[in-house]
Amino acid sequence: MAEISSETRFLHAIEMGLGAWQWGDRIVWQYGHGYSDTEVHQAFLASLGEGIRFVDTAEIYGNGRSERLLGQFLKQTEQPVLIATKFLPFPWRFGKSALPRALKGSLRRISTESVDLYQIHWPTPLLSIDTMMEGLAECVKSGMTRTVGVSNFGQSRMLAAYSALARHNIPLASNQVHYSLLNRNVEKNGTLARCKELGIRLIAYSPIEMGLLTGKYSADSPPPGARARNYGGLLPKLGPLLKLMTEVGQDHGGKSNTQVALNWVICKGALPIPGAKNAAQAQENAGGPGWKLSDEEVAKLDQASDLIFES
């Protein structure tokens, strides 16, 4: 394990965050159907009440609505909140100056002078890694962000970003990637291990697999919208894993499947950022950290997850 730089240490101290993709997104999450501004505000407040104070948003979420809502919510609380947002490499964005320019837009929407983490949402062939890292370095030097990270970067791109930033004396703080009991690519391809080695915080998105690991969806009762299509093949195979999660949760005083799913991510050494549409979901998710699965339980869950993909 590498020594963690003082600038990024705060990220390693966070056990769990709150994802804000749900705040305004109609396409995947059906914002406006069953939940809206009031409910996500309550989810935010419930999370803060439980000590979750790291919020992950992006300029693209709800076409800016997520960042604007975060700005409104921050004005209504005295509590300190750590903010992460993301740069979207739209094809019309050229050159390193696109990054500080885009960050200024995010800061305006969030109504803040700086964020704690600014991430590249995903890699693009249109902007070289060196150019993007130069842009991120400018964002740090101008004081608009405390740290910088990447998202959806495979190992070789992540290493290139790490080295490019090192030339500016700036640590790569994080890589935000898909990681859950139903998607263990980063564990199996060595990205998680490499992150630990280099002191890069692996931030796990979709840690409850977009609701699948809660146990509330099945082949007979699939999730709405695009998720039904994407997960159609997986839903009939979830039974044994969900059953084991329930048994394991019962051995920890009745932890729910959702809480077991989040704790498993934490036990693996990653930082989960579950999204929540309302206070009840946020409240339940907040029970993910604060306790520990045993090594044996983690191994059993790993095995049950492997079996899904071997069948």
Ligand X SMILES: NC(=O)c1ccc[n+]([C@@H]2O[C@H](COP(=O)([O-])OP(=O)(O)OC[C@H]3O[C@@H](n4cnc5c(N)ncnc54)[C@H](OP(=O)(O)O)[C@@H]3O)[C@@H](O)[C@H]2O)c1
Sheet architecture: strand order including 54-56:
18-19, 54-56, 82-87, 115-120, 145-151, 172-178, 201-205, 271-272
84: amino acid identity, one letter: A
* Cβ closest to ligand X, residue 169 vs residue 221: 221
In angstroms, what is the minimal distance from the CB of 277 to ligand X?
5
d(CA 29, CA 86): 19
Residue among 28 and 193 whose Cβ is closer to ligand X: 28
- The nearer residue to ligand X, 8 or 258, going by C-beta atoms, is 258
Minimum CB distance to ligand X, residue 62 (Å): 11
Indicate the residue whose CB is closest to ligand X. 19
Give min distance, CB of 160 to ligand X, in A: 18
Residue position matching structure tokens 């590498």 = 2
In the structure encoding, which two tokens stand for residue 11, read together? Answer: 């990220």
For residue 159, what is the enclosing H or E element?
helix 155-166
Q: Which residues, 6+ apart, have CB-to-CB distance to 250 below 8 Å?
A: none
State how beta strands 201-205 and 172-178 pair.
Answer: parallel
**H/E run at residue 245:** helix 239-250
Residue closer to ligand X, measured from CB, 56 or 297: 56
Q: Annotated catalytic, 61?
A: yes
Kindly tell me which of 124 and 168 has the beta carbon lying closer to ligand X.
124
Tokens (6 digits) for 210: 């977009």
Beta bridge partners of 175: 150, 202
**Beta-sheet pairing, 115-120 with 82-87:** parallel
Give me the residues paired with residue 176 across strands.
151, 203
Of 31, 35, 61, 118, the catalytic one is: 61
Q: Which two tokens stand for residue 149?
A: 């990270």
* Angle in degrees, 0-180, between the axes of helices 155-166 and 129-141, rounded to the nearest 10: 50
Backbone angles phi, psi at 55, to 5 degrees: -115, 130
Shortest spacing between CB 56 and ligand X, in angstroms: 4
Rg (CA), the chain: 19
Residue ranges binding ligand X (CB under 6 A): 19-22, 29, 56, 121, 151-152, 176, 205-211, 214, 216, 223, 258, 273-277, 281, 284-285
Rounded to a whole number of angstroms, the minimum distance from the CB of residue 286 to ligand X is: 9
- Closest separation in Å from C-beta 34 to ligand X: 8
User: Looking at beta carbons only, is 20 or 99 nearer to ligand X?
Assistant: 20
Known catalytic residues?
61
